[in-house]
Amino acid sequence: MGGIYSNAWPATTTFMQTAPRKARNSSSPTRRKGAAVTIHEVAQRAGVSPMTVSRVVNGNANVRAATRELVMRTVRELNYTPNAAARSLAAASGTRIALIYTNPSSAYLSELLVGALDGASKAATQLVLDTWDHMTRATERAAARKIAQSVAGVILPPPLCESKAVCSELVAAGIPVVAIASGRFQPDISGVRIDDFRAAQEMTEHLISFGHSRIAFIKGHPNQTASGLRYEGYQAAMAAAGIPVDPTLVQQGFFTYRSGLEAAEKLLARKKPPTAIFASNDDMAAAAVSVAHRRGLDVPRDISVVGFDDTPTATTVWPELTTIRQPIAAMAASSIDLLLRSIRRRKDGEARVVVDHVVAHMLVKRDSVAAPNPG
Amino acid sequence: MGGIYSNAWPATTTFMQTAPRKARNSSSPTRRKGAAVTIHEVAQRAGVSPMTVSRVVNGNANVRAATRELVMRTVRELNYTPNAAARSLAAASGTRIALIYTNPSSAYLSELLVGALDGASKAATQLVLDTWDHMTRATERAAARKIAQSVAGVILPPPLCESKAVCSELVAAGIPVVAIASGRFQPDISGVRIDDFRAAQEMTEHLISFGHSRIAFIKGHPNQTASGLRYEGYQAAMAAAGIPVDPTLVQQGFFTYRSGLEAAEKLLARKKPPTAIFASNDDMAAAAVSVAHRRGLDVPRDISVVGFDDTPTATTVWPELTTIRQPIAAMAASSIDLLLRSIRRRKDGEARVVVDHVVAHMLVKRDSVAAPNPG
DNA sequence: TTGAATTTTGATAGCGCTATCACTACGCTC
DNA sequence: GAGCGTAGTGATAGCGCTATCAAAATTCAA
């Protein structure tokens, strides 16, 4: 029974009260079933005004240390959790955050959504989803300008976060932006990502540790930063192991199954085909598996294939793919956090802060890798 | 600029205001930037009280048809969207709804989530996601009992909605349940689904219209109701066209890629292979394509392959699959609606009502179908 | 020690919505 | 036509929280 992990607030998930309407007589010490602790109860118990409690809870204003301490203790005692609805209503913090995506069938969209929406609901923030498909640069600019007027922050998954047009427009509008899973740290917007370079390096090392040396690489879409980093990671690992990279073993792909098909076709048509293929994402890896099968090659006996991202595709195909897992859901949730913090800062008139949050990835070993076939 | 399709509500996605605090002088007709339309503005414009607007918007009470019409028009004109925070604060409705899923990589999960979360946020309802993987019947029972205590309604996508244990436990606890995309209308819980029988029938007719008669069928998981219906639809269409169904052309599958691989293998190993394969879902269809390719068959020139569900897989593989599209997102959103209505009814002490909501599906024609190869 | 500058605290007034109940019509029965 | 329901509507009073500003407590300088 999973549930979604918690972030900023105590173990219990936030409640939106189900209390009886009248009957909140302020002296009764017993909790009415289902009724949440309110700020008033905390205030009363601590002998301060609700306002002071509010200040303490929001860590915001200037409260004397002693008072703060007292209130915090009371909060803990009563296990008080601010009512998200009330908060966002009162604060007029109307903090809406947009999550804009293109390519709606992007495989990790579901995870992205789970994470983002969970993070948003924890913070009582409204998440606005928007799809920008088939847009020209100009349309994107316009859309960016428009969205900038109606939300307080934006989360940009790839490939949108690579669009200079979109980013600059958003930055110009002065609203905080977080790029999620974008390959490289960009100078003007914050990012939550994994270390693509390191991950690709590890994957390559993994392959090498099985004894592979003719390791082919299918590159990702050239205009996505992550593609370059993954390639560099591959190169670095190969170099570190003293294995020269055969340039004919590196093919350009575009993250699509189709492009993977073509790249793998070229790779396996060679007189001396590779013993392993490292594709820059799972779709292309799946395509490589398919090509291998078409040529009567067994995976992993005759050839090992690995992917990247750990999307549903990785476990759909057979054999299931060894790949790199990005904790997309967690990353999405942190994005919301980050954004909210920026927004608050901005409201307080502080300077824009850009952070680069790198989270841990994980090499997931499944059934698509084996030692090279000596035959 | 897409947004998510709307259901009950106008084109724009829900708003939480970002308004200036003062300065809502009620006569100014110009929208202040970022300020959302409030119920008062609608009320004033329509010349009724806010309360009446509230009633109309919630479709709830008894409002005269003329008034309702007027208010609805005004709402549409002003593009009013209720403020979720205010609503849940005032209503103290604390309505939490659980969406429980197994098999997290289920391909349409993302769409399911988009729809459900969109619907939930529209209704200011907290959506709780829960994953129940690797559970025994007993654990499921316990989990059901537990969740029943903390939420007011449950949405059950397949395969969970097929579990008698879960359903009965939930029904016994007295909380409304909506099965989504479950094949058959179940007696004790409501459902939102497409007409699987009809859809399969149409798909088969589509194949027949191309001139196919040796049409193979790969069945879905035997314990999912939709599987049976799809198979029956196929049979019905064949019978209607006067084409006898060759039993050797029907293979059992389990909705997994792997099972599709095996089924297709058997099908194409025959002396006289089919000219078309109708797989009960996209994953198995993708597997069939892969097997065909392995055997040097071109899709669709040498063999046509069609799937069901229109999951990302359908457009990932090459050629892209002709398939049946279920409007999962819209279905999820209606589920929320349905649930909310049930919950409200239940609160009003009315009897439990079970509804069966069948939505329209769509045959999506792509590149995996052609006339049978005469050669 | 006194006045002003500052920090800390509290009272008040909503945020946008809905529950509740009171009130108006308009039927109906007898 | 008085009495009684019953739809349809509106006035009022909050839901739990925070913005705002005024008041109180504290500090500091002179």
CA distance, residue B214 to nearest chain A CA (Å) = 24
Nearest to A150 among B4, B21, B34 (CB): B34
pLDDT at B209: 98
Looking at the partner chain, which of B21, B88, B132 has a beta carbon nearest the beta carbon of A16?
Answer: B88
pLDDT confidence of residue B184 = 67
**Higher per-residue confidence, A174 vs A325:** A325
The pLDDT, as a whole number, for residue B212 is 98
Question: How far apart, in whole angstroms, are the C-alpha atoms of residue B338 and residue A356?
Answer: 43
CA-based nearest residue to A267, from A281, A287, A283, A242 = A287
Nearest neighbour of B1 by CB, restricted to A19, A21, A130: A130
SS3 B317: coil
Is pLDDT of B9 > 60? no
Bases of chain C within 7 A of a CB of the protein: 7-12, 14-20
pLDDT given for residue A60 in this prediction: 66
Instruction: Provide, as residue numbers in chain A, all residues whose Cβ is less than 8 Å from the Cβ of B328.
Output: none
Give strand letter and number of the nucleotide nearest B22 (CA to C1'). Answer: C14
Q: What average pLDDT does range A363-369 have in this prediction?
A: 97
User: Can you give the pLDDT at residue A4?
Assistant: 26
How much is the mean pLDDT over chain A? 82
* B293 shares contact with chain A (CB less than 8 Å): yes
Give the C-alpha separation, A152 to A340, whole Å.
9
CA distance B91 to A18: 9
Q: Select from B96, B130, B290 the Cβ nearest to the Cβ of A1.
A: B130
Interatomic separation, CA of residue A168 and C1' of nucleotide D17, rounded (Å): 36
Q: How confident is the model at residue B312 (pLDDT cuts 50, 70, 90)?
A: confident
Q: What percent of chain A has pLDDT over 90?
A: 43
Per-residue pLDDT tens over the stretch A173-227: 878 899 998 866 677 889 999 999 999 999 999 999 999 999 999 999 998 889 9
Which chain A residues are Cβ-neighbours of B85 within 8 angstroms? 84-86, 88-89, 124
In this prediction, residue A349 has a pLDDT band, given cuts at 50, 70 and 90, of: low
Q: Amino acid letter at A93?
A: S
What is the average per-residue pLDDT within B83-95?
Answer: 73
Do β-strands B177-180 and B190-194 pair in parallel, antiparallel, or remain unpaired? parallel
| Euclidean distance between CA atoms A234 and A255, whole angstroms | 17
Q: In the predicted model, is pLDDT for residue A350 greater than 70?
A: no
CA of A40 to C1' of D22 (A): 21
DSSP string of A255-284, one letter each residue: SSHHHHHHHHHHHHHSSS--SEEEESSHHH
Name every chain B residue with its beta carbon within 8 A of the beta carbon of A313. Answer: 313, 316
pLDDT at position A185: 65
Q: Which of A357, A365, A350 is nearest to A319 (CA)?
A: A365
- Which residue, chain included where needed, has tokens 């913070």? A123
Least confident of A130-134, A235-239, A291-295: A130-134
- Are the CB atoms for B126 and B171 separated by under 8 Å? no
Q: Stated in angstroms, how far is A179 CA from C27 C1'?
A: 65
Mean local confidence (pLDDT), A158-183 = 84
The per-residue b/e assignment along A244-259, b for 16 or more CB within 10 angstroms, e otherwise, is: ebbeebbbbbbbbbbb
Separation of B338 CA and C29 C1' (Å): 40
For chain A, positions 114-153, list CB contacts with chain B under 8 A: 114, 117-118, 121, 124, 126-133, 135, 139, 143, 146, 149-150, 152
Which of A8-22, A126-140, A195-209, B177-191 has the lowest average pLDDT?
A: A8-22
Distance B336 CA to C21 C1' (A): 31
Q: Other CB atoms closer than 10 Å to residue B204's CB: what's the count?
A: 26
| Residue A322 DSSP one-character state | B
Say yes or no: Cβ of A52 under 7 A from any atom of strand C.
yes
Which residues of chain B from 331 to 350 reach within 8 Å of chain A, CB to CB? none
Across the A:B interface, residue pairs with CB atoms under 8 Å apart total: 162
User: What is the C-alpha separation between B220 and B282, in angstroms, rounded?
Assistant: 11
Q: Is the pLDDT of residue A53 over 50?
A: yes
Q: Is A96 on the interface with B (CB under 8 A)?
A: yes
The spacing between the Cα labelled CA in B53 and the C1' in D8, in angstroms, equals 13
Closest nucleotide to the alpha carbon of B19, via C1': C15
Nucleotide minimizing C1' to CA distance for residue A62: C8
Judging contacts by C-beta atoms under 8 Å, the chain B residues touching residue A293 are 290, 293-294
Q: Which of chain A's residues have a Cβ under 8 Å away from the Cβ of B106?
A: 312
| pLDDT tens track for B237-252 | 999 999 999 999 999 9
Separation between the CA of B57 and the C1’ of D27 (whole angstroms): 56
Residue numbers of A between 43 and 72 with CB closer than 8 Å to B: none
Nearest CA to CA, how far is A72 from chain B (Å)?
A: 25
B6 close to A (CB below 8 A): no
Burial profile B130-158: b = 16 or more Cβ within 10 angstroms, e = fewer = bbbeebeeeebbebbeebbeebbbbbbbb
From edge to edge, which strands make up the β-sheet containing A356-359? A126-131, A96-101, A153-156, A177-180, A190-194, A356-359
- Answer for the pair B368, B306: CB distance below 8 angstroms, yes or no: yes
> How would DSSP label each residue in A36-91?
PPPHHHHHHHHTS-HHHHHHHHTT-S---HHHHHHHHHHHHHHT----HHHHHHHH
Say which nucleotide is closest to residue B42, CA to C1' distance. C16
Per-residue confidence at A115, pLDDT binned at 50, 70, 90? confident
Strand D close to B92 by CB, under 7 A: yes
pLDDT at site A368: 97
CA distances from B189 to A190, B156, B227, B333, B338 (A): 46, 10, 19, 17, 11
3 state SS of B136: coil
Residue B126 pairs with which residues in a beta bridge? B96
- Shortest distance, CA B80 to any CA of chain A (angstroms): 15
- What does the pLDDT read at residue B5? 25
**pLDDT (average), residues A107-123:** 76
What distance in Å separates residue A177's CA from the closest CA in chain B? 18
Do the Cβ atoms of A152 and A318 come closer than 8 Å? no
In this complex, the residue with its CA at the shortest distance from the C1' of nucleotide C16 is B86
A242 has a chain B CB within 8 A of its CB: no
The yes-or-no verdict on residue B193 having pLDDT over 50 is: yes
A110, A118, A293: best to mutate for the B interface, most B CBs within 10 A: A110
**Which nucleotides of strand D come closer than 7 angstroms to any CB of the protein?**
7-12, 14-20
CA A39/CA A36 separation, integer angstroms: 10
How far away is chain A from the Cα of B109, in angstroms, using its nearest Cα? 6
Give the pLDDT confidence of B282-310 residue by residue, as tens digits.
999 999 999 999 999 999 999 999 999 99
Among the partner-chain residues B14, B19, B287, the one whose CB lies closest to the CB of A92 is: B19
Mean pLDDT, residues A284-311 taken together: 95
Provide the edge-to-edge strand list for the sheet that holds B190-194: B126-131, B96-101, B153-156, B177-180, B190-194, B356-359
Show Cβ contacts of residue A149 under 8 Å, excluding neighbours closer than 6 positions: A173, B33, B34
- pLDDT of B32 reads 37
Lowest-pLDDT choice from A229-238, A333-342, B327-336: A333-342
Compute the distance between CA of residue B93 and CA of residue B280 in angstroms, rounded to an integer: 41
